[in-house]
Amino acid sequence: MATSFAPITRDTTSAEFEAQRRADTAFERRIRAALDQARAYVDVDAAVPPARDRPRDSIDVCLGRTVEQLKQRLTSATGLEAADYVEMTRLAFELLALNNHYQRHLFSRRLRALGMLHELTPTVGESTGIEKLFHRAAMDACDTCNFDRILILRLDETHLAAQAAHFRGHEDWASDAREFARAHPIALDRGRFESEVLRRRTAGLVLDPRDDPRANHPIVANTRTFSYASAPIISGGVAIGTVHGDMHFSGRRVDVVDRDCLGAFAASLGSLVEKALLAGRLYAQRDRARAMLRASEDLIREFADGDIRIGPPRPASPEPEAGDPPYVDSPLSGREREVLALLAGGATNAAIARRLVLAEGTVKSHVKRIFRKLRVSNRAEAAARFARLERSAHSR
């Protein structure tokens, strides 16, 4: 089959994945060293006939076919020295043992993939936006799941648009691929591979995307991918996007182990997205609560600084000068007099707010009340009235 979907499984957990990945790499180096030794006797490269623009086959197939070639040479035994015969026999047994070990190794990888939930490294905080989270997740998916390239797409109604991309050692190409994918969003038509991934809510892989009608051919052609895995990102029970990964630089096709690793990673990413969105709402509520608290403190301070008198009424304000509108019968509070003094000195609302430790909105309210009480329409008139009040107070 050209397409394969993972069974629906529960979330998994991760343990020492990076150490195991290094061990896997060392084991594959042992296999390649043995194959290099076999090249002295058989045509290892011909063991898997390369197709045009296609990657070489998987290691286990190459091992098996190389062993078959060695057996055929040993069976014919024509033109072989005794030392060569012994060496070829040894290599055949070694490659056969490595192949058996490799099969167990693949089975073990699959069990680990199904038993691990890979932990993402981004932390959720005030500065962690969803876009930054996706960018970091693309890098982490390459490191954690050992992919060469990762492309993260976000669901936008009926399309998937690129959100982040990371190509090992090829960031310029990653940036170009992301912009191309944004300009060519994947339509979630009926029968589209990505539509099936989102509908089934499980990871899948495409082994031959160039000939698969369900693949998105513009992006496949642009990235020159020969096989890829895709997994849905589910946040809060809702599908919000997909993660795509391939092994372009390694030159091998993705397999079911890669698919399941990416599926576990996408599940973890969905949980982080949900946490980030919740944290954003909590921070917004906190900011609103702080603003309300500051406003309450300003009202209390204004009330405490206001003029409260018991006894005879306050003497009338001095007579206005010629041309001045009459004062209203409401005196300025202590806080309003402080604001008026700073205003008359040329301070802006922001400067007054910093000087009196008030919110700028509170200062604006004080200024409006001062204008209303003094019957003035601008800051210059208010400053002039303040100067006259000061002269009047000093002349008493």
- Sequence-distant (6+) residues with CB within 8 A of 383 are 343, 344
R_g of the chain computed on alpha carbons: 37
SS3 label, residue 239: strand
* Stretch (H or E) spanning 333: none
Which one-letter DSSP state was computed for residue 243? E
In the chain (396 residues long), the average pLDDT of successive 10-residue segments reads 51 53 78 86 63 47 83 76 84 85 67 46 50 86 86 88 91 92 88 89 88 89 92 88 91 85 87 78 74 69 53 47 48 87 90 87 90 90 86 69
The amino acid at residue 356 is L
The pLDDT of residue 103: 72
Pick from 333, 260, 265: which is nearest to 303 by CA?
A: 333
Both tokens of residue 279? 């944290």
Question: What domains can you pick out in the chain, each with its CATH number?
Answer: 9-111 (no CATH), 130-280 (3.30.450.40), 334-395 (1.10.10.10)
The C-alpha atoms of residue 47 and residue 99 are separated, in whole angstroms, by 15
The pLDDT of residue 149: 94
Bridge partner residues of 234 (DSSP): 239
The pLDDT of residue 230: 92
The C-alpha atoms of residue 201 and residue 346 are separated, in whole angstroms, by 64
Please, what is the angle between helix 256-305 and helix 82-114, to 10°? 40
The pLDDT of residue 189: 84
Pick from 335, 337, 322: which is nearest to 374 by CA?
A: 337
The pLDDT of residue 128: 54
The pLDDT of residue 121: 42
The pLDDT of residue 293: 73
Cβ–Cβ < 8 Å for 232, 160: no
Beta strands in 157-237 (DSSP E): 159-167, 186-187, 204-206, 228-235
The C-alpha atoms of residue 273 and residue 142 are separated, in whole angstroms, by 18
